[in-house]
Structure 1
Amino acid sequence: MNSRYSYDENNETWPVFILAILSVAVIPLTLQSIYEILFIKSKNSTTTIGSIDESNQISSNIKKFRSKNKKSKIFNKKNFILLIGWLFITSLIFKISTTEISSIPNPNNFDPYELLEIEYGTNEKDIKSHYKKLTIKYHPDKIRNKSDEEKKELEERFVLITKAYKALTDEITRENYEKYGHPDGPQQTLHGIALPKFLIEGKSSPFLLAIYIILIGLILPYFVNNWWKRTKSFTKKGIHNDSANLFVENLLNYKPSEIVKIETILKWLSQSKELKELLPSSKFTEENESNDEILEIFNKFFQKLELKHYELQIISKIPILIYGLIDISSSFRNTEITNVAIETLKHFIQRLTPSIKNELLQLPNVDVDVVDKTNIIRLSKLLKLSNDEIKSTLGIKSDDELIQTLSIAKKIPILKLIKAEFKVPGEKIVTPNSNAHISIKVLVKSPLHKGSNFVKKIPEIFLKEDESFEYLKDPFKIVNEQPILPKTYAPYFPVEKISNYIAYIIVQKDGKIADNPIFVQNLDLSNLELSQNQFENLENFKIGTFKIPFNQPTPNELGKYQFRVIIKSLDYFVPDLDFPVIMNVENPAKLEEIEYDIPDPDEDSIAGALAQLRGDKVNRIDDDYESDNDDDDESDLEDDEDFSDINTDTEDESEE
């Protein structure tokens, strides 16, 4: 029985088919991988501005753990699979380029004009002429010195050429061709399969069928099921649902009369599902025993004892768990637990037990017993002492250790508030039922820098934001354009971490969090590289910007609404920013009363030249800049009276 299927016995089609399928998957993924390698910064690739060298402080145990957990942008599973894909593509291209294509036309794709090598519409005389030439070339009686296979191919071609000639000259044959597309009338329908026949109908076909069943019926469902279970088992913040449920339960059972301490947060963390899964099977027994085992690991970490690999893995999971706890506690609007959770994270990052001297204890080479006896608690106060006094205050024994300690201390950033206000993009005032955000301008300073009270005199021109259409469309663009923060100085933490700030709004009326906090990883720390003289020059230092979205429309009723903003470092023990901000919701009709300052054209511009011809006023840049400075100084001083840094560095200010 004749087969109804046409197989690719000469390997002409299936390599092209597989090449097309592979190319669709491999080429886009390769381009994406190249883009990520060249243009996208990885988690371990950040700016070097303000970075702190911690290489001399990291223990061999931590270095070994980091090297095992460090992911390369080039040598990873994805790129390895892509390499295999390109090897397959290369082999397929080679096979296609070296495979001879059969010159026999497919009888099912009958085209008499193509077979006779003439153009459509050629007259009968020319058809006969071309036919005679081809019969001389392909007639079986004319074939000499050919192999049997070549003779067979030429004979088949001669038959097709003859049919093509008749299809264009013989009435019956032409009628069949026009009606059925073939001079012999209706043809059997053939289905082409781009695979060799032995794979489908040969002895290996049951084996291939088994592979197909295993692949489609077992392996693919297994990976899809695992992916689905993982997706459903973890929250958007990346913590296990069981851990999130425990946090929610603890928050629901929390009584406002209870004092939440770092020990409380540690107890909650010890109940986390992902931490228990990292325990060896010998340690994973009853729930309470597992909790105690994890708490014991926490104690070993804070006591600076050497940890095993699985214990370091448990510690490395702490940041993501605390981020999840912060997200949940802020959803409960619980300010106290959010604050304590942030402090707990900093203690893990710097590997310090609770102490009021943590600003000093986060430095290397210090003697804890000596520091405990000093009255100094601020880095800014410490760095005003002489080198000998610093050595005795910190218990440092050698000059080399002192140099290392000071190099780290001066690069720990401290924020000073310059200005904070509610803003509505494109508006001069805050209008009812509008989308507002809080724009915050800060000065980043080193603990070594003195005299930062001049922030009150910074001219408004230095604080003015771009009001182009692009920035009005995306008010947070100015924040994202700032440099990415460097790696945190955390030589005792198992994994490298990028510096972070957290900012959130508190409603003054009830002292509760207004919305979920935002995490900020973009801030220019170039001020830390400035000397004291350079720092005091307005043209040298950079002003940082925070923007906190107010994720609900502004109130419909006019009036003043009081809020607080808290900005904390998630990595270093430094004074936090905690200041009031007033939302003054005003009548939109007031916009008509506001006089918009339309600047006069510059004298050296075309508009300025035309204005001079008309006798209008033009803007002389130098004079205008001086007058603007004077006005801005006064207005900024008035604005600054509305803000007070609640947790300011009082020792620093007293020195200034």
Structure 2
Amino acid sequence: MSSEYSYDEEGQFFPFFIVTVAGLVTIPVTYSLLRKSTDLENTAPRIKSSFQPEHADLIDGHRRKQKRRERKHKRMIAALVGWAMIAYMVYLMSVTARSTPKIWNPYEILDVPMSATEKQIQSRYRKLSITLHPDKARPDPAKNETLESINEHWVEVIKAYKALTDEEIRNNYIQYGNPDGRQSTSFGIALPQFLVTEGNGKYILLVYGSLLGVLLPYFVGKWWYGSQKVTKEKVLVKSAGNMFKEYNERADRNNVVKILSSGAEFEEILHGHKADAGSGQLEKRILADGETTLYASGMTAKDRDRLQDIDDATRRKALALLWAYLGRVELDDKVLNDEKFEVAPTALALNEAFTTIALAYGFTQPVLSVYYTSQSIIQAMPPDSPPLLQLPSFTRTAVKKIEDAALSEARKHITIQSFMDIPESRRRDLVKDAGISTTAYDAAVTVAKQLPRLVIEKTFFKVTGEKYVIPNSLVQFVVKARFIPPGTPNVPAVKPSDLEDVDPDESDPKSRRELEAETKQHQVPLAHAPYFARDHSPRWHLFLADARQGKIAVPPFTFTTFDKPILDEAGKPTFNVQTLKMQFQAPPQPGEYKFQMHLVCDSYVGFDDKREVVMVIEEPSKAEEVESDDEISEPEEDTIAGQMAALKGNQPAKPKRRPARVEELSDSGSDTEEEDEEEGDSDTDTDTDTDEE
């Protein structure tokens, strides 16, 4: 059996092939573009504020640039090209005349029905021979008939007659669709024949060679080497190595800023002449005398020495730009100001990667320093700055005057919540004396009353389904907290039931709506960070530390969403009690274990919580005693279960003597026997709630 290949010479099926191939690529790309983003920064609400910082156009420019990157223009172009190609192919399908091969049918040729008998077929053949035989038929010029066409038609009539009267030929037609038996196999290729003609072969080979030998290896290699250049935190491997080398277990916040400047990402921002352009002017501005600090940028003398000890021009300028951003220093140069806002998001990404390095060592101080540095970068504030600088229009000089007048004791700074707790009239007097206008003050208060301050109401340890925490059990540290923005009046009291953590009843079926309500998570508004050129969704880091050793006992659990609504439909606080849980294995020995709990928000300064918590590990025997009290008693002999036990050879327990009053009720025919039972305490929590420091 031979095989033949036929090409789509008329271009009838080539469009179908192109539509199929293009659709396999275009449809997934289009879906990825139209699919709603699940990134926290794209789904969270925003804090309402009319404040516009200086150089807001530069900050918004970087935000728009980031949005353009997120839109994935390459995918958009690929989708447009793909749909344009599909549309053109569909157009070709609609206008191309398609010819279908005619199937050889002997019944149709003889013009007899398929139910015709052999006698009817012979009669029909004789009639056709009178008019169609070449010796009798004459060509008709009006029908474009020729002698050759008459002969060919008569041959078809003879073949059809034999196919329907000869048993062997008829079987061939039935089995193979042809009176001559099995034919050669033909494969149709949906490619125009001009692509495979002899003259065009070298061009086709050139195209295939370019695709398979050049473009495919290039894109695969680019993807591979690109994936190997970055870590899972999306920073360059070189940057992670540089920060790893500079890690210090006693690193403070100022030192972390210097470590972040070692990121190789800054080489892409400050490439070429940008590494040196304006460096002298930049350092002069950040090292100028400050009004409330040693230097205008908030740097210390040690920070100045660290800067001047750097020989690499790119890193030195990156560090100077970071301090200019943190200190909100005006550089009097549009390019330098633009670079100042550009380095901040990169520094935050590096800071998140440095968190992983700090956690690997397990020391508390560097981890806290990294978290506090995140606050400084998002709010554009030097380390150890007064929290009031987060409010719009509050400058360092104004904050210094407010703190000097408001602080009656030797505290370092006043927090936003403490400031908002001051009576309204007193607050207005303070800001007026500090030189802040009434309009600016009102705008600042509006923002302050929207900030998501998480207030802890209760903390405790528990083991699911158990009354006590025993060695090596799976412990949950539960934090009950509410979002209470600073200055919120008439905060409702907490319901005691909301502070409990009841284990779910597996036997209680829940409706689909209830399950969806439990699994749905709610976000807080995006961080109010007018100087940070990115949208950022706040995160809360919860971990336990051993204060004596200065090491982390339970690694941080990060919370970005919460189980209950934070704001109602009108944007007002709901004061719902949120539940934060972290799970870990209990120590192997009984006793009291003291931990230092840290709850740190990565976006706001002064909203952190630190307190001592105590976990009590009981002896396993104590838990066994509780279990023995709850064991099911043996069946009594006068019950059905007791009789079944007796049949199995077990000795049932003797029936208990009922009280006389019960016997009297039974004798009188009463069927309302009641017994009072004491309910054991089902609270499995070990309360460790202490006063907030």
**Shorter-normalised TM-score: what interval?**
0.7 to 0.9
Q: Deviations over 1:160-202 (max 9, x none)?
A: 7865664453245346567877433554444432111111115
Alignment of 1:119-518 (within 5 A): 163=159, 166-174=162-170, 182-185=178-181, 187-201=183-197, 203-251=199-247, 254=248, 256=249, 259-284=250-275, 288-304=312-328, 305=330, 307-357=336-386, 359-373=387-401, 374=403, 375=407, 377-394=414-431, 395-425=434-464, 430=469, 433=472, 435-449=474-488, 455=494, 458-461=495-498, 463-464=500-501, 467=504, 481-507=520-546, 510-514=549-553, 516-518=555-557
Please name the residue that 2:64 is paired with.
67
Q: Is the 8 A contact 2:592 2:614 kept in 1?
A: no
**Distance apart, 1:100 and its partner CA:** 2.5
Asked whether the equivalents of residues 541 and 600 of structure 2 are also in contact (C-alpha less than 8 Å), the reply is yes
Asked whether the equivalents of residues 545 and 597 of structure 2 are also in contact (C-alpha less than 8 Å), the reply is yes
Kept after mapping to 2: 8 A contact 1:52/1:488: no
SS at match of 1:45: helix
Structure 2 counterparts to residues 512-531 of structure 1, below 5 A: 512-514=551-553, 516-523=555-562, 524-526=565-567
Give 1:594 deviation, angstroms: 7.1
CA deviation vs aligned residue, 1:7-44 (integer Å, no higher than 9, x gap): 1112222221222222333334434544x23xx44554
Deviation at 1:463, TM superposition (A): 4.0
- On the 8 A contact 1:46/1:486 being kept in 2, the answer is no
CA–CA distance in 2 between the matches of 1:86 and 1:119?
A: 49
Q: Deviations over 1:333-391 (max 9, x none)?
A: 1211111111111111111123352x211111123123224226122221233445324
Q: 2:80 aligns with which of 70, 79, 83?
A: 83
TM-score by length of 1: 0.75
Question: Alignment partner of 1:547: what SS?
Answer: strand
CA distance in 2, matches of 1:132, 1:463: 102
For residues 100 and 582 of structure 1, do their structure 2 counterparts lie closer, same or farther at Cα, with a shift above 3 Å needed?
Answer: same
Q: Distance in 2 between matches of 1:139 and 1:432?
A: 107
CA distance in 2: counterparts of 1:77 and 1:554, whole angstroms? 51
Q: Secondary structure of 2:348's match?
A: helix
Q: Secondary structure at the residue paired with 2:458?
A: strand
Matched with 2:97 is 100
Q: Is the CA contact 1:325–1:341 (under 8 Å) kept in the aligned structure 2? A: yes
| Cα contact 2:498–2:577 (8 A) shared by 1 | no
CA distance in 2, matches of 1:69, 1:136: 87
The CA deviation string for residues 209-245 of structure 1, in whole angstroms up to 9 with x for no partner, is 3222212211121111111111111111111111112
Paired residues of 1:419 and 1:442 also in contact (CA < 8 A): yes
How much has 1:515 moved relative to structure 2?
5.0
Once residues 491 and 166 of structure 1 are traced to their aligned partners in structure 2, the CA distance between those partners, rounded to angstroms, is 93
Q: Which amino acid aligns with 2:567?
A: S
Partner of 1:643: 689
**Contact 2:47–2:447 (CA under 8 A) maintained in structure 1:** no
8 Å CA contact 2:322–2:343 kept in 1: the answer is no
> Greater CA deviation, 387-396 or 540-549?
387-396
CA 1:183–1:275 in structure 2 vs 1: closer, same or farther (change >3 Å)? same
Determine what percentage of the aligned residue pairs are the same residue. 27
Letter in 2 for 1:345: S
TM-score (normalizing by structure 2):
0.72
Q: 1:61 to 1:30 in 2, by over 3 A?
A: closer
Asked if structure 1 preserves the Cα contact closer than 8 Å seen for 2:194 and 2:200, the reply is yes
**Is the contact made by 2:50 and 2:443 (CA closer than 8 Å) also made in structure 1?**
no
Q: Which amino acid in 2 is paired with 1:102?
A: S
The one-character-per-residue Cα deviations of 1:522-562 (angstroms, maximum 9, x if unpaired) are 1443289898xxx8xxxx63111222243xx4455555544
Q: Is the 8 A contact 1:330 1:516 kept in 2?
A: yes
Cα gap change, 1:111 to 1:235, in 2 (>3 Å): farther
Q: Which amino acid aligns with 1:45?
A: N
Kept after mapping to 2: 8 A contact 1:283/1:293:
no
The number of residues matched between the two structures is 585
Q: CA deviation at 1:118?
A: 10
Deviation at 1:317, TM superposition (A): 1.1
* Mean Cα deviation higher: 441-450 or 180-189: 180-189
Aligned to 1:317, the other structure's residue is in SS state helix
Give the alignment partner of residue 568 of structure 1, picking from 600, 611, 635. 600
SS in 2 for 1:377: coil
TM-fit CA distance, 1:290 = 2.0
- Does structure 1 retain, via aligned residues, the 8 Å contact 2:545–2:552? yes
The CA deviation at 1:272 is 0.9
- Residue 74 of structure 1 and its aligned partner are, at CA, apart by 7.2
- Cα contact 2:345–2:533 (8 A) shared by 1: yes
More moved, 323-332 vs 156-165: 156-165
Moved more, 189-198 or 318-327: 189-198
Indicate the RMSD between aligned Cα atoms, in angstroms: 4.6
Q: Which of the numbers 575, 581, 588 marks the counterpart of 1:541?
A: 575
Q: 1:337/1:477 Cα in 2 relative to 1: closer, same or farther (>3 Å)?
A: farther
Provide the secondary structure at the position in 1 that maps to 2:486.
coil
Q: Distance in 2 between matches of 1:529 and 1:520?
A: 24
> After alignment, is 2-11 or 82-91 more displaced?
2-11
The runs of 5 or more residues in structure 1 that have no matched partner are 597-612, 618-627, 648-656
* Distance in 1, Cα, partners of 2:453 & 2:396: 23
Q: 3-state SS of the aligned residue for 2:317?
A: helix
Q: What residue is the counterpart of 1:592 in the other structure?
A: 627
- Most deviating of 25-34 and 137-146: 137-146
Q: Distance in 2 between matches of 1:292 and 1:337?
A: 23
Flag structure 2 segments of 5+ consecutive residues without an equivalent: 277-309, 408-412, 632-669
Could you tell me how far 1:83 is from its partner in structure 2? 2.8
User: Per the alignment, do residues 137 and 42 of structure 1 end up closer, same or farther by CA in structure 2, a change over 3 Å counting?
Assistant: farther
Distance in 2, Cα, partners of 1:42 & 1:417:
27
Q: Mark the CA change 1:294 to 1:77 in structure 2 (over 3 Å): closer, same or farther.
A: same
Question: Residue type of the partner of 1:567?
Answer: L
| Other structure's SS at 2:325 match | helix
Tell me the SS of whatever aligns to 1:5: strand
Match of residue 605 from structure 1: none
Looking at structure 1, the residues matched to 673 and 110 of structure 2 have their Cα atoms a distance apart, in angstroms, of 85
User: What letter corresponds to residue 68 of structure 1 in structure 2?
Assistant: K
8 Å CA contact 2:59–2:531 kept in 1: the answer is: yes
Q: Is the 8 A contact 1:396 1:402 kept in 2?
A: no
Letter in 1 for 2:207: I
The structure whose Rg is larger is: 2
- Check whether the contact 1:417–1:645 (CA below 8 A) recurs between aligned residues: no
2:384 aligns to what SS in structure 1?
Answer: coil
Using CA pairs under 8 Å that are at least 6 residues apart, name the structure with larger relative contact order, 1 or 2: 1
Maintained 8 Å contact 1:346/1:571: yes
Distance in structure 2 (CA, Å) of the matches to 1:616 and 1:155: 111
